[in-house]
Protein backbone atom coordinates (compact mmCIF):
# COMPACT_ATOMS: atom_id res chain seq x y z
CA UNK A 1 0.00 0.00 0.00
CA UNK A 2 3.12 2.22 0.15
CA UNK A 3 2.50 3.88 3.48
CA UNK A 4 5.47 6.14 4.25
CA UNK A 5 6.25 7.37 7.77
CA UNK A 6 8.95 9.92 8.35
CA UNK A 7 10.56 11.50 11.37
CA UNK A 8 13.50 13.86 11.21
CA UNK A 9 15.39 15.27 14.17
CA UNK A 10 17.81 18.18 13.87
CA UNK A 11 18.51 18.57 10.19
CA UNK A 12 20.96 21.21 9.06
CA UNK A 13 24.42 22.13 7.94
CA UNK A 14 27.23 21.66 10.44
CA UNK A 15 26.46 23.92 13.39
CA UNK A 16 23.45 25.46 11.67
CA UNK A 17 20.34 23.52 12.69
CA UNK A 18 17.53 24.36 10.28
CA UNK A 19 14.75 21.86 11.04
CA UNK A 20 14.60 20.75 14.69
CA UNK A 21 11.80 18.22 14.33
CA UNK A 22 9.50 17.09 11.55
CA UNK A 23 7.12 14.19 11.44
CA UNK A 24 4.57 13.14 8.83
CA UNK A 25 3.04 10.24 6.96
CA UNK A 26 1.84 9.86 3.39
CA UNK A 27 0.28 6.87 1.63
CA UNK A 28 0.32 5.53 -1.90
CA UNK A 29 -2.08 7.51 -4.10
CA UNK A 30 -1.70 10.60 -1.91
CA UNK A 31 0.23 13.82 -2.33
CA UNK A 32 1.59 15.74 0.64
CA UNK A 33 2.75 19.24 -0.14
CA UNK A 34 5.37 21.01 1.93
CA UNK A 35 4.69 24.75 1.83
CA UNK A 36 6.49 27.71 3.30
CA UNK A 37 8.36 30.89 2.41
CA UNK A 38 11.93 31.07 1.09
CA UNK A 39 14.40 29.66 3.57
CA UNK A 40 11.70 27.90 5.63
CA UNK A 41 13.57 24.60 5.41
CA UNK A 42 11.66 22.74 2.70
CA UNK A 43 14.71 21.66 0.71
CA UNK A 44 16.61 20.87 3.89
CA UNK A 45 13.78 18.59 5.05
CA UNK A 46 13.63 16.72 1.76
CA UNK A 47 17.39 16.31 1.69
CA UNK A 48 17.45 15.15 5.29
CA UNK A 49 14.92 12.52 4.31
CA UNK A 50 17.06 11.16 1.48
CA UNK A 51 20.25 11.51 3.50
CA UNK A 52 22.11 14.30 1.72
CA UNK A 53 22.18 16.79 4.61
CA UNK A 54 23.24 16.23 8.21
CA UNK A 55 20.55 14.88 10.47
CA UNK A 56 20.95 13.68 14.02
CA UNK A 57 18.19 11.12 13.63
CA UNK A 58 16.05 9.95 10.74
CA UNK A 59 13.27 7.42 10.89
CA UNK A 60 11.85 6.27 7.57
CA UNK A 61 9.40 3.43 7.23
CA UNK A 62 7.82 2.14 4.04
CA UNK A 63 4.95 -0.19 4.96
CA UNK A 64 6.60 -2.66 7.32
CA UNK A 65 10.16 -2.01 6.12
CA UNK A 66 12.50 0.13 8.16
CA UNK A 67 14.62 2.18 5.73
CA UNK A 68 16.08 4.49 8.37
CA UNK A 69 19.65 3.31 7.99
CA UNK A 70 19.79 3.18 4.21
CA UNK A 71 22.06 5.47 2.19
CA UNK A 72 20.69 7.70 -0.57
CA UNK A 73 21.66 5.11 -3.15
CA UNK A 74 20.11 2.25 -1.21
CA UNK A 75 16.94 4.28 -0.81
CA UNK A 76 16.64 4.53 -4.59
CA UNK A 77 16.83 0.73 -4.74
CA UNK A 78 14.11 0.56 -2.10
CA UNK A 79 11.83 2.73 -4.30
CA UNK A 80 12.50 6.24 -2.99
CA UNK A 81 13.05 8.62 -5.91
CA UNK A 82 14.22 12.19 -5.36
CA UNK A 83 13.87 14.93 -7.97
CA UNK A 84 15.97 17.85 -6.68
CA UNK A 85 15.22 21.46 -7.52
CA UNK A 86 16.57 22.86 -10.77
CA UNK A 87 15.34 20.26 -13.32
CA UNK A 88 18.62 18.39 -13.33
CA UNK A 89 19.31 15.97 -16.15
CA UNK A 90 22.38 14.96 -18.14
CA UNK A 91 22.59 17.90 -20.54
CA UNK A 92 24.85 16.17 -23.09
CA UNK A 93 22.70 13.06 -23.33
CA UNK A 94 19.47 12.73 -25.29
CA UNK A 95 16.08 12.43 -23.67
CA UNK A 96 16.03 8.72 -24.42
CA UNK A 97 19.54 8.21 -23.03
CA UNK A 98 18.60 10.07 -19.85
CA UNK A 99 15.61 7.80 -19.36
CA UNK A 100 17.45 4.61 -20.24
CA UNK A 101 20.31 5.60 -17.92
CA UNK A 102 17.92 6.07 -15.00
CA UNK A 103 16.50 2.59 -15.57
CA UNK A 104 19.89 0.92 -16.04
CA UNK A 105 21.47 2.63 -13.02
CA UNK A 106 19.29 0.49 -10.81
CA UNK A 107 18.73 -2.48 -13.10
CA UNK A 108 21.85 -2.92 -15.24
CA UNK A 109 20.56 -6.22 -16.57
CA UNK A 110 16.93 -5.14 -16.56
CA UNK A 111 14.69 -6.76 -19.12
CA UNK A 112 14.22 -4.80 -22.34
CA UNK A 113 10.49 -5.37 -22.14
CA UNK A 114 10.36 -3.79 -18.71
CA UNK A 115 12.32 -0.79 -19.93
CA UNK A 116 9.99 -0.42 -22.91
CA UNK A 117 6.92 -0.59 -20.69
CA UNK A 118 8.27 2.16 -18.41
CA UNK A 119 9.32 4.29 -21.38
CA UNK A 120 5.80 3.96 -22.80
CA UNK A 121 4.35 5.01 -19.45
CA UNK A 122 6.46 8.17 -19.19
CA UNK A 123 5.96 9.04 -22.87
CA UNK A 124 2.26 8.70 -22.33
CA UNK A 125 2.43 11.07 -19.36
CA UNK A 126 4.71 13.55 -21.11
CA UNK A 127 4.12 13.30 -24.88
CA UNK A 128 6.66 16.07 -25.50
CA UNK A 129 9.42 13.73 -24.30
CA UNK A 130 8.32 11.18 -26.86
CA UNK A 131 8.50 13.78 -29.63
CA UNK A 132 11.91 14.96 -28.38
CA UNK A 133 13.44 11.61 -27.48
CA UNK A 134 16.45 12.10 -29.76
CA UNK A 135 17.12 15.67 -28.61
CA UNK A 136 19.91 16.63 -26.21
CA UNK A 137 18.41 17.37 -22.79
CA UNK A 138 20.53 20.52 -22.47
CA UNK A 139 18.88 22.04 -25.52
CA UNK A 140 15.34 21.74 -24.17
CA UNK A 141 13.32 24.37 -22.29
CA UNK A 142 13.23 24.49 -18.48
CA UNK A 143 9.75 22.99 -18.44
CA UNK A 144 10.71 20.12 -20.70
CA UNK A 145 13.79 19.41 -18.57
CA UNK A 146 11.63 19.37 -15.45
CA UNK A 147 9.37 16.82 -17.13
CA UNK A 148 12.43 14.79 -18.05
CA UNK A 149 13.74 14.96 -14.48
CA UNK A 150 10.42 13.61 -13.19
CA UNK A 151 10.27 11.00 -15.94
CA UNK A 152 13.76 9.81 -14.94
CA UNK A 153 12.50 9.29 -11.40
CA UNK A 154 9.51 7.34 -12.71
CA UNK A 155 11.84 4.96 -14.58
CA UNK A 156 12.63 3.35 -11.21
CA UNK A 157 8.92 2.80 -10.49
CA UNK A 158 9.07 4.65 -7.17
CA UNK A 159 6.99 3.86 -4.15
CA UNK A 160 7.77 7.33 -2.81
CA UNK A 161 8.36 10.20 -5.23
CA UNK A 162 9.95 13.30 -3.70
CA UNK A 163 9.91 16.54 -5.70
CA UNK A 164 11.57 19.82 -4.79
CA UNK A 165 9.72 22.80 -6.30
CA UNK A 166 8.95 21.27 -9.69
CA UNK A 167 7.13 24.40 -10.85
CA UNK A 168 9.98 26.84 -10.16
CA UNK A 169 10.68 29.05 -13.14
CA UNK A 170 7.99 27.55 -15.37
CA UNK A 171 5.37 29.48 -17.33
CA UNK A 172 1.80 29.09 -15.97
CA UNK A 173 0.71 26.92 -18.91
CA UNK A 174 3.55 24.46 -18.27
CA UNK A 175 2.86 24.42 -14.54
CA UNK A 176 -0.71 23.42 -15.33
CA UNK A 177 0.48 20.64 -17.64
CA UNK A 178 3.05 19.41 -15.14
CA UNK A 179 0.61 19.30 -12.24
CA UNK A 180 -1.99 17.57 -14.35
CA UNK A 181 0.63 14.86 -15.00
CA UNK A 182 1.50 14.69 -11.28
CA UNK A 183 -2.18 14.19 -10.50
CA UNK A 184 -2.25 11.30 -12.96
CA UNK A 185 0.93 9.76 -11.46
CA UNK A 186 -0.64 9.93 -8.03
CA UNK A 187 -3.85 8.31 -9.17
CA UNK A 188 -2.42 5.63 -11.43
CA UNK A 189 1.03 4.71 -10.16
CA UNK A 190 -0.02 4.20 -6.55
CA UNK A 191 3.11 5.88 -5.28
CA UNK A 192 3.14 8.34 -2.42
CA UNK A 193 4.23 11.85 -3.45
CA UNK A 194 5.98 14.38 -1.24
CA UNK A 195 6.44 17.75 -2.90
CA UNK A 196 7.91 21.05 -1.73
CA UNK A 197 6.24 23.96 -3.51
CA UNK A 198 5.91 27.73 -3.44
CA UNK A 199 3.10 27.76 -5.97
CA UNK A 200 0.30 27.50 -3.45
CA UNK A 201 -2.61 27.58 -5.88
CA UNK A 202 -1.24 24.92 -8.21
CA UNK A 203 -0.09 22.67 -5.38
CA UNK A 204 -3.41 22.84 -3.57
CA UNK A 205 -5.17 21.75 -6.75
CA UNK A 206 -3.68 18.27 -6.43
CA UNK A 207 -2.59 17.99 -2.77
CA UNK A 208 -4.36 15.71 -0.32
CA UNK A 209 -2.61 17.05 2.72
CA UNK A 210 -0.19 19.80 3.51
CA UNK A 211 2.40 20.85 5.96
CA UNK A 212 3.49 24.46 6.33
CA UNK A 213 7.01 25.16 7.51
CA UNK A 214 8.07 28.46 8.99
CA UNK A 215 11.70 28.92 9.99
CA UNK A 216 12.10 25.16 10.28
CA UNK A 217 9.04 24.66 12.47
CA UNK A 218 5.69 23.19 11.48
CA UNK A 219 3.28 26.11 11.49
CA UNK A 220 0.26 24.21 10.20
CA UNK A 221 -0.50 20.67 9.08
CA UNK A 222 -3.63 18.89 7.97
CA UNK A 223 -5.85 17.82 5.08
CA UNK A 224 -5.62 20.12 2.05
CA UNK A 225 -9.38 20.62 2.09
CA UNK A 226 -9.13 22.26 5.53
CA UNK A 227 -5.90 24.18 5.01
CA UNK A 228 -6.95 25.60 1.65
CA UNK A 229 -9.20 28.18 3.24
CA UNK A 230 -7.17 28.78 6.37
CA UNK A 231 -6.91 32.54 6.77
CA UNK A 232 -3.86 32.32 9.06
CA UNK A 233 -1.96 30.36 6.46
CA UNK A 234 -2.85 32.66 3.65
CA UNK A 235 -1.97 35.85 5.46
CA UNK A 236 0.96 34.84 7.64
CA UNK A 237 2.87 32.38 5.50
CA UNK A 238 1.88 32.82 1.92
CA UNK A 239 1.25 36.54 1.76
CA UNK A 240 -2.04 36.06 -0.10
Binding residues for Mg ion (CB under 5 A)? 42-43
- Position among 2, 44, 167, 199 found at the interface with ligand ATP (CB under 6 A): 44
Instruction: Give burial (CB, 10 Å; 0-12/13-18/19+) of 235.
Output: exposed
Interface pattern 114-153 for ligand ATP (x via CB under 6 A): ----------------------------------------
Task: Choose between 39 and 222: whose C-beta lies nearer to ligand ATP.
Answer: 39
Residue 137's SS3 state is helix
Least distance (Å) from ligand ATP to the CB of residue 34?
8
CB atoms within 10 A of CB 141: 14
What is the number of helices (H) and of strands (E) in the chain?
A: 10, 10
Q: Give the nearer residue to Mg ion in terms of CB position, either 42 or 186.
A: 42
11: helix, strand or coil: strand
Site string for ligand ATP, 152-191 (x = CB under 6 A): ----------------------------------------
Residue whose CB is less far from ligand ATP, 46 or 154: 46
Phi, psi (deg, nearest 5) at residue 55:
-150, 135
Sequence-separated (6 or more) residues with CB below 8 Å from residue 167: 146, 175, 178, 179, 197, 198, 199, 202, 203
Region 197-236 residues binding ligand ATP, contact defined as CB under 6 A: 198
Stretch touching ligand ATP by CB under 6 A, among 42-50, 68-76, 126-134, 151-159? 42-50
Report the residue number, 19 or 174, with the smaller CB distance to ligand ATP: 19
Reduced to 3 states (helix: H, G, I; strand: E, B; else coil), residue 225 is helix
Interface residue with ligand ATP among 8, 26, 40, 161 (CB under 6 A) is 40
Instruction: Say which residues have a Cβ less than 8 Å from residue 144's Cβ, sequence separation at least 6.
Output: 128, 129, 132
Q: Which stretch binds ligand ATP (CB under 6 A): 34-42, 111-119, 135-143, 170-178?
A: 34-42
> Are 6 and 25 a contacting pair, CB within 8 Å?
yes
Per CB under 6 A, residues contacting ligand ATP are 13, 16, 18, 36, 38-44, 198
Amino acid sequence: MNRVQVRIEKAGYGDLMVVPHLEFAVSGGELLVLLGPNGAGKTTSLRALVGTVDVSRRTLRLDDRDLSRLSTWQLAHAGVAFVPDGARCFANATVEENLRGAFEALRPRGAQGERRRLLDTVFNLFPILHQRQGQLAGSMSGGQRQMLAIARALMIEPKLLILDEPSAGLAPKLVEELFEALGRIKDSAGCAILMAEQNFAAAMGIADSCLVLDEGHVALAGPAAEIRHNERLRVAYLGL
